[in-house]
């Protein structure tokens, strides 16, 4: 169990640029989640994958955001035409099969700063 890995740890970019983040879940986990955390707040759910299928998207996920999980392994989160309000910590988590009491294991996050 090597844990959930996220890259990069930090991303600084100018407003209007596109950015892509990567998440590698724990290898045997088939569920993968993306959350966004702003300063002083708890994480907010963005989207959820079971294997390669994206089964849920929050209304927080505008059409500038897209997430993929090809082959049900790693996942990418892309933000197009970034805005100041996109500055946040983006967290990825994964969990195994079973009910909702299966704990989600989080990565260290990608901190996005928009100049």
User: What does the binding site for other proteins look like in residue numbers (CB under 8 A)?
Assistant: 4, 6, 31, 33, 35, 40-45, 48, 55-56, 58, 91, 93, 95, 99-109
Q: Which is nearer to other proteins, 56 or 83 (CB)?
A: 56
Least Å distance, CB 78 to other proteins, is 20
**What is the biggest distance separating any 2 CA atoms in the chain, rounded to whole angstroms?**
42
Q: Which is nearer to other proteins, 27 or 39 (CB)?
A: 39
Cα dist from 23 to 33, 65, 75, 77, 102, whole Å: 10, 15, 5, 8, 19
Report the SS3 class of residue 71. helix
Least Å distance, CB 109 to other proteins, is 5
Least Å distance, CB 3 to other proteins, is 9
Phi/psi of residue 86, each to 5°? -80, -10
Q: Which is nearer to other proteins, 56 or 78 (CB)?
A: 56
How far is 31 from 44, CA to CA, in rounded Å?
17
Q: Which is nearer to other proteins, 85 or 100 (CB)?
A: 100
Least Å distance, CB 88 to other proteins, is 14
Report the SS3 class of residue 109. coil
């Amino acid at each position: 169990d090597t844990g959930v890995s996220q890259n990069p740890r930090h991303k600084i970019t100018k407003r209007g640029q596109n950015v892509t983040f990567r998440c590698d879940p724990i290898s045997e986990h088939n569920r993968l989640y993306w959350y966004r955390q702003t300063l002083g707040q708890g994480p907010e759910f963005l989207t959820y994958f079971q294997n390669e299928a994206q089964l849920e998207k929050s209304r927080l996920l505008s059409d500038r955001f897209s997430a993929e999980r090809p082959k049900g392994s790693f996942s990418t989160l892309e933000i197009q035409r970034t805005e100041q309000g996109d500055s946040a910590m983006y967290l990825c988590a994964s969990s195994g099969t079973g009910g909702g009491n299966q704990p989600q294991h989080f990565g260290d996050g990608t901190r996005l700063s928009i100049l």
